[in-house]
């Protein structure tokens, strides 16, 4: 992480399931802008939510930061494409967990919203336990900002942590904002758990659910891997674990299982001899072509 941290811009809203499709459709013809007055009318939400939708499109790497054009991934998931075997949008309403895994991965690796790479990266790795509290995460972020000479208010960090947690936690059926709570985008992935316990300071305890996540398909893992390593034909096991599996909170055992499944699908070859553990790319297909086969 560099010192260009960003802990605001979402207007205190976590991303809803339908927002990304709304935002992509809005930008699709290339003539509309989120800063225009028509955005409120066209998107059918208030001005704060307009800004939030815009923020999340950038956070998920669905728009290019330079010119606001849509990325290939935005087209892949949300728009018709006559060049695909199936021209219809792949998963516009985020119904497949594979899509959620990819979006989570990109949210962390893209780093536009700083809390995600911090929380799932150095903060998690710095802890003896996978358990944490909001206060511990806040303290870590504030110290990191101070170390890098970045001025940030405690209230801003508090708000960002709440948005972060609402993106992953199970719905709170007692909430007065049931619609908001039920729209927790990454809840099905069970990446963060809220425990039924508090610490000695009476602070709610959360847990990074690091281990094995059976809903990660080998094609989805392959896409994430190629998103990081691009055209590299050879990748070590340790690189895979650190740059891909750890972001998905997969332990080394599941990494081995996913490597085996990718090999079964003739996507990769795994070499293990004389202490060397290395994955080599076998398929000539692009990561998009592999992912398209997954969605069928």
Is the C-alpha dihedral spanning 155, 159, 160, 165 positive or negative?
positive
- Flag whether pLDDT at 174 surpasses 60: no
The yes/no answer on whether domain 218-295 falls in CATH 3.40.190.10 is no
- Flag whether pLDDT at 176 surpasses 60: no
Q: How many CA atoms lie within 13 A of 150 on its CB side?
A: 20
**pLDDT computed for residue 182 by the predictor:** 52
DSSP character for 90?
S
pLDDT band at 148 (very low <50, low <70, confident <90, very high): very high
* CB-CB contact of 288 with 81 (8 Å): no
Q: How many CA atoms lie within 13 A of 113 on its CB side?
A: 35
pLDDT in tens, 179-226: 554 578 999 999 999 999 999 999 999 999 999 999 999 999 999 999
Is the C-alpha dihedral spanning 212, 216, 217, 222 positive or negative?
negative
Interhelix angle for 252-264 vs 218-229, to 10°? 100
Sequence-distant (≥ 6) Cβ neighbours of residue 201 within 8 angstroms: 133, 135
Q: What is the pTM of this model?
A: 0.94
* CB-CB contact of 222 with 287 (8 Å): yes
The two structure tokens encoding residue 226: 């190629």
List helix spans (H) across 111-205: 115-118, 124-125, 134-147, 154-166, 178-182
Please, where in the chain does CATH 1.10.10.10 lie?
218-295
The two structure tokens encoding residue 70: 């849509």
Ramachandran quadrant class, 211 (left: phi over 0; alpha: psi -120 to 50; beta: rest): left
Give the integer Cα–Cα distance in Å for 117 and 123. 9
What is the percent of the chain with per-residue pLDDT over 70, rounded to a whole number? 94
pLDDT in tens, 56-103: 999 999 999 999 999 999 999 999 876 766 678 899 999 999 999 999
């Amino acid at each position: 992480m560099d010192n260009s941290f960003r802990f605001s811009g979402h207007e205190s809203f976590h991303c809803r399931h339908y927002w990304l499709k709304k935002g992509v459709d809005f930008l699709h013809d290339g003539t509309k802008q989120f800063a225009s007055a028509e955005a409120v009318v066209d998107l059918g939400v208030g001005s704060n939510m307009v800004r939030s939708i815009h923020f999340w499109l950038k956070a998920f790497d669905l728009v290019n930061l330079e010119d606001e054009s849509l990325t290939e991934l935005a087209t892949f998931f949300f728009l018709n494409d006559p060049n695909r075997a199936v021209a219809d949008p792949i998963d516009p309403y985020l119904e497949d967990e594979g899509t959620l895994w990819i979006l989570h991965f990109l949210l962390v690796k893209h780093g536009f919203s700083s809390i995600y790479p911090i929380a799932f990266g150095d903060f998690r790795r710095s802890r003896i336990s996978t358990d944490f509290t909001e206060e511990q995460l806040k303290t870590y972020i504030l110290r990191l900002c101070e170390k890098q000479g970045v001025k940030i208010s405690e209230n801003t960090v508090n708000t960002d942590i709440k948005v972060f947690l609402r993106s992953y936690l199970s719905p709170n059926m007692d909430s007065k904002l049931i619609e908001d709570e039920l729209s927790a985008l990454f809840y099905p992935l069970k990446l963060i758990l809220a425990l039924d316990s508090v610490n000695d300071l009476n602070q709610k305890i959360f847990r990074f659910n690091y281990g094995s996540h059976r809903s990660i398909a080998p094609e989805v893992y392959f896409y994430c891997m190629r998103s990081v390593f691009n055209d590299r034909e050879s990748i070590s096991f340790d690189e895979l674990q650190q740059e891909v599996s750890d972001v998905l909170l997969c332990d080394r055992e599941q990494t081995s299982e996913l490597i085996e499944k990718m090999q079964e699908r003739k996507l990769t070859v795994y070499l293990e001899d004389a202490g060397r553990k290395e994955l080599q790319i076998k398929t000539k297909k692009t990561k998009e072509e592999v992912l398209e086969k997954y969605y069928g």
